[in-house]
Structure 1
């Protein structure tokens, strides 16, 4: 199931993408100033190129100063054209930034919720596999020289009761239709066909299953069928070659999401014993997705809202070190941790610090672990002493 660490990582990724986009937005704002002072080659009077170049440089410098300090020079610019260009560029930049914040916040939640869609989509794999085998058998039957293999060799798969159990599940059926989670992509189906022909079909366990016969004991035969399903997922969907390669190419976050999706799929199969009926509920994304969703959304928005405040705290704690030289990812990690420590009263400070140290080890530089640990430890003590951090709740002591 989805855990809070993965949610923190997705918030971090959203904030990183946001910061990259905002940096590009500033360049676009600068381009607007440059465009405002391009010489008009169609004018009746030759443009004063030196004047225009000076206005452009002044406007760009004022935009940079405003971006760094949040304020324009008290007198603004004596040149009304420069002042108007800077004002227009700032307004344009701020509109872009607001859009970026909303966009990447939405992408964050979509990215987390897409894990659940991926899991349900993969539960439809057995039916897609039967479709491919049917097409292969029909194509072989039409061969002028006769089929190269006996279609009856795969007959037992079409009688697999575990396949049928998944197909008949009402929640899976309804959600698949509602969210369009069928296997319809031609490249994905081709990857599944490749996996079947080159990996699954030659596999000893699969061949033994196809060659075997039912015992006549329904529950015993069902367990044999389910064991094959588990084998197909474990060894050819989450391992193997063709399907993992497709999944990774189709989802940039697949390696990160794979353990969660695998856990959801395999736990769901355990929830479908012989006695389970078509109304059996499937696994949820998390124990309480609404709470987890609120946590991620609030952490993202508040980290953005507290950006200037957190930047100042970090700068004050990095003695003899220019805060501008701190790696962007490290700053995002520190700002998220500061936000979490102050905002979420039910999460112990030590838990927060340990979580972000682990994230820094996974995603940032080799030295980030010590840097993040040192800064957060100092800031946690300072904020607790000033009353900015207050922890309360069952099992928690204030400021611990």
Structure 2
């Protein structure tokens, strides 16, 4: 949707160029995921370095010579640091954000150490896996994710990440909550695509919508008698074209799935009344296509 909107705004007709950028944007979601997960690892590294340097001071205090290492020994940090899937992905994708911008890690570390979650955790002499896990979940959810400076940095790094941040952070929190104390493959980097069919779908939907825009628009222009086509929000027309494209050109996708997906898109990205407007048009169109027997669904599309 955003790629098609960008094409309209730029007046671009270079389909291959825009498609290339579309897949670059999708692949970048994994970079964002790895950047956010590695922020936890880097926070632990920075605190470890700080404790070590403090212990070597000429006039180190007893607390500095024998520091409380409960935080840096947190089991979740160890799981992340020893995870092959994560290490390989970070190396392969060349994630060096924090190496180049360590001041943000220091900023986050300071915020962590000033938080009630950290202070309560460190004041408890006992250390259990569940307590370790809960601390990291709380710190990530309430200290790291909401940090305005971090958000600004991510936004400046890649503009396409803005809409992906909530999705990625929600996934990471879910993974952290699901960690087990002793289990191989305890943490795995998720794939960007489920399979090749998943990637092909993104390509096909983009191409079929762009190459058939005029044909798709004809399906709804006469169903908006009280609206001049120029007055319909551009995002709404793109959502309608994509939805109609799925209805007509993707027989294996169930009608209900298509309707639900695009109503959610309208709620998220368009005007408050858009979802009602789009729902009305698509509902009437589906009834018409079913009556004319031109809405042909096969396989799981019949479910």
- The CA deviation at 1:276 is 1.7
Is 1:203 matched up with 2:115?
yes
Q: 2-side partners of 1:204 and 1:383: how far apart?
A: 59
Q: What is the match of residue 370 of structure 1?
A: 276
Q: Report Cα offsets for 1:115-171 as digits up to 9, x if no partner.
A: 223222322223311332245456667889878x83744522332232111111111
Provide closer, same or farther for how the CA distance between residues 321 and 200 of structure 1 changes in structure 2, counting only shifts above 3 A: closer
Partners of 1:128 and 1:183 within 8 A in 2: no
- The CA deviation at 1:241 is 4.3
Q: What is the match of residue 91 of structure 1?
A: none
SS class of match (2:114): coil
Q: What is the match of residue 234 of structure 1?
A: 141
For residue 389 of structure 1, the aligned residue among 286, 295, 299 is 295
- The CA deviation at 1:271 is 4.7
Alignment of 1:1-400 (within 5 A): 12-22=1-11, 97-98=13-14, 101-137=15-51, 150=64, 152-187=66-101, 189-197=102-110, 199-214=111-126, 221-254=128-161, 256-277=163-184, 279-280=185-186, 282-285=188-191, 288-319=194-225, 321-394=227-300, 396=302
Provide closer, same or farther for how the CA distance between residues 212 and 19 of structure 1 changes in structure 2, counting only shifts above 3 A: same
- The CA deviation at 1:299 is 0.9
Question: TM-score, with normalisation over the residues of structure 1?
Answer: 0.66
Partners of 1:115 and 1:285 within 8 A in 2: no
SS class of match (1:314): helix
Q: Report Cα offsets for 1:216-263 as digits up to 9, x if no partner.
A: xxxxx3333223222221222223444344334434454532332123
Q: 2-side partners of 1:234 and 1:321: how far apart?
A: 44
Partners of 2:254 and 2:300 within 8 A in 1: no
Mark the runs of 5 or more structure 1 residues left unpaired by the alignment: 1-11, 26-96, 216-220
Provide closer, same or farther for how the CA distance between residues 335 and 176 of structure 1 changes in structure 2, counting only shifts above 3 A: same
Q: 1-side partners of 2:126 and 2:226: how far apart?
A: 74
SS class of match (2:298): coil
SS class of match (1:128): helix
- The CA deviation at 1:304 is 0.9
Q: 2-side partners of 1:128 and 1:186: how far apart?
A: 12
Q: 1-side partners of 2:60 and 2:31: how far apart?
A: 41
Aligned residues: 302
- The CA deviation at 1:341 is 0.4
Question: TM-score, with normalisation over the residues of structure 2?
Answer: 0.84
Say which is worse superposed, 279-288 or 380-389, in terms of deviation.
279-288
Provide closer, same or farther for how the CA distance between residues 273 and 287 of structure 1 changes in structure 2, counting only shifts above 3 A: farther
Mark the runs of 5 or more structure 2 residues left unpaired by the alignment: none
Partners of 2:252 and 2:301 within 8 A in 1: no
